Structure 1
Amino acid sequence: MKDNLSISCILATYGRQEEVLAFITSLESQTLPTSQFELIIVDQNSENILDEYVAKFSSSIKIVHIRSSVKGLSTNRNIGLSYAQGAYVCFPDDDCTYYPDTLSNALEKLKSTNKQMILGAIRDRSTGEKLIKNWPDIIKTVNRWNFQRYSTSITIFAKRNDLKFCEALGAGTSNGSCEDLDYIYKSIKTFGPAIYFPDLDVWHPAPEISEIPSNKVASYGRGFGKFCRINSPDMAIASILILTLTYHATQFFIELTRLNIRGAKNRAIAFSSRAISFLYRDKSWNQ
C-alpha cells in the first residue's frame, strides 16, 4: 500500500466514452482528497478512445491506465485488482457516477466498523428515487441468507484482499451477471457478515426489464443459475434460487394480465434461463 492511498477504484470498461468521462468528472469532485484514492482503468477498447480523458485528468487524479486485449468484466476487474495499491477497493461501472461524498463516506464507514466489506445503495439524489432495487432505509447486517437483497458490485467497498471475481460470470461471458453476488458471497463466507448503509450511495441508470433485449435477459439469467450451481449445495443458495424463480414466475403472470407481451416474454426467459443454467453442468463450473 502506498502512503496515504486509501481507496483503489477499479473501472473495467469497453465501448463507453462519455460515460467514463462523467465518472472521472465525479471523482474530481470528491470531498476526499485526490491524494487518497486512485482510479485504475482497465481499458478493453481496441481504439484509443480514452487517452484524451486520461491525459486531461492525470494531473489532478492518480490514474493507472491498463490496456487489456481480453474481454470480460470479471477478468478485467481481476487485472485491476492486481494493480491496486489502496487499503480498500471498489468497483464502479463505466456508466455510473459517484456523489461528492461517496468515497469519504465509504472510507469513514470502513474505518469505524472495521468490517471487511460494506455495501451501499443506488439512488438519484435529485429525485430521491431508489434505482435498480428497493433499497432499505435502515442499516442492515448482510449475511449468507440475505446478501442478494443488497448485492451490486458498484456499491461494494472492501478491504483489499486475495478474493477474485469468478471469471465464468459477468458481462463479456455467456453468463452475464452475478459476478457481484459471487464476490460478496465469498467475502461473507471467508470474512464474516458485511454491513449495508442506506446513506452510502452512487448513481446508475436503471432500465425496465421490458426494455432489456431478450438475449441480455437470458444472459443475466444464466449468470444467476450458474452462480447458484457453483455455490451449491448450500441451504442459503437454495433458498435464494427458489425465491427468485418464484418471483419471476409471478411477474410473468402479472405481465400477462397487463397484456404486456414483451414483458411477459422477458419474464419467461428470466425464469427458464435461471432454471436451465442451474440444472446444466459444463466444464467451467469450478471456475
Structure 2
Amino acid sequence: MQRSPDGVARQPSAPHCSLVIATLHDDGELEPCLASLVKQENAPTFEVIVVDQNGDDRLVEVIARFAGLLDIRHEQVDFRSATRARNLGARLARGIWLGFPDDDCQLLSDALGEVRRLSNDPQTQVITGQTIDETGAPNVLRWKQEPTEFTRRTMFSCLTEATLFVRRELFLQVDGFVERFGPGAPLPRGRRHRPDEPAVRAHGRSESLLQPANQDAAPEQDAALECLGRGSFPQLCHR
C-alpha cells in the first residue's frame, strides 16, 4: 500500500477485492464494520467503497479516521436504494472480486483470507456464506448445515448479500442486482420472489455449493460461501 501526498492510503494497482458498503440511517454501525476490516489477517489487497445515502455529512469524520488505514472511497449519492447503491459501487470498483458487506456487519478476522484462498481456483466464480450472531449461532436465514448445490431452489438457505462475493466481470455481465427489489426500491419485500440474483442468473457458467464450515462476521456473524470446483461456501461475518 502506498500513500499519496495527502496522506491517504492507496493501492498501487487493482486490488484483489472491492468491498461495496451501502449505508443509510447510520447510527454508529459503520465504524465497527470498518474497524473489522482493519483487523483482517492474511487478507488479499482490497479497497472499500462506501455508498452513502444519508443525505448529510454524518459519515465524513468516521471515514476520514480510516483513510490512513484502509484504501477507502466515500461516495455520497442523492438516492435511496440498497441495490442501486451496490450496483453503483460495483461500477466504481477496481477489484477482481466484489463483496457487499452490510454496514452493520463485522467481518471475522480471517474472512478475506478465506475469500483469497477460495478464489485461487480460476473456475470459482461465486463465494458466499452464512451469518452468525454474537454467540456463533447461524442467523438471518435457515442455513443449510451440509454441503449443498447452490441453485434457484436452494439459494434462500445459501445466500445473503452481506456475505456474497462474486467475480466483478461476471457481476457486470449479468447487470448486477435487480434494482426494482430491495430496501428503497419499488418492491422492498420482493427478495423472496427474486430468482435473478447475479450468482443465480450466472448459474450454468459457475456452479456453487454451500460449505457450512466457512464464516464471516456482522453484529450477527456470517459464514463464507466457498465455491467448490466452480463455486461454493466458508464462514465470513458477524452480524
Q: TM-score, structure 1 length as denominator? A: 0.65
Instruction: Give the one of 140, 148, 158 matched to 2:148.
Output: 140
Identity of aligned residues (%): 26
Amino acid at match of 1:151: L
Q: TM-score, structure 2 length as denominator? A: 0.77
Question: Does the CA contact (< 8 Å) of 1:2 and 1:86 recur in 2?
Answer: no
Question: Does the CA contact (< 8 Å) of 1:8 and 1:40 recur in 2?
Answer: yes
Deviation readout 1:134-179 (Å, 9 max, x if unpaired): 3233332212332222121111111112131111000002311429
Matched, 1:186 2:196: no
| CA deviation after TM superposition for structure 1 residue 81, in Å | 0.6
Distance 1:128 1:75 in 2: 31
Amino acid at match of 1:168: R
> Which residue of 2 is the match for residue 65 of structure 1?
74
What does residue range 210-249 of structure 1 map to in structure 2 within 5 Å?
A: none
- Structure 2: stretches of 5+ with no match in the other structure: 1-10, 221-239
Question: Does the CA contact (< 8 Å) of 1:118 and 1:195 recur in 2?
Answer: no
Cα RMSD (Å)? 2.3
Aligned length: 203
Larger RCO, structure (CA 8 Å, separation 6 or more): 2
Matched, 1:8 2:23: no
> Which residue of 1 is the match for residue 29 of structure 2?
19
Question: Does the CA contact (< 8 Å) of 1:118 and 1:197 recur in 2?
Answer: no
Q: 1:4 to 1:173 in 2, by over 3 A?
A: closer
Deviation readout 1:41-62 (Å, 9 max, x if unpaired): 0011111111112111111100
Matched, 1:199 2:208: no
Q: 1 or 2, which has the higher strand percentage?
A: 2
Distance 1:137 1:40 in 2: 32
Distance 1:98 1:80 in 2: 19
Matched, 1:109 2:118: yes
Instruction: Give the one of 170, 185, 188 matched to 2:182.
Output: 170
| CA deviation after TM superposition for structure 1 residue 68, in Å | 0.6
> Which residue of 2 is the match for residue 151 of structure 1?
159
Find the structure with the greater CA-based Rg. Answer: 1
Question: Secondary structure, in 3 states, of the residue corresponding to 1:120?
Answer: coil
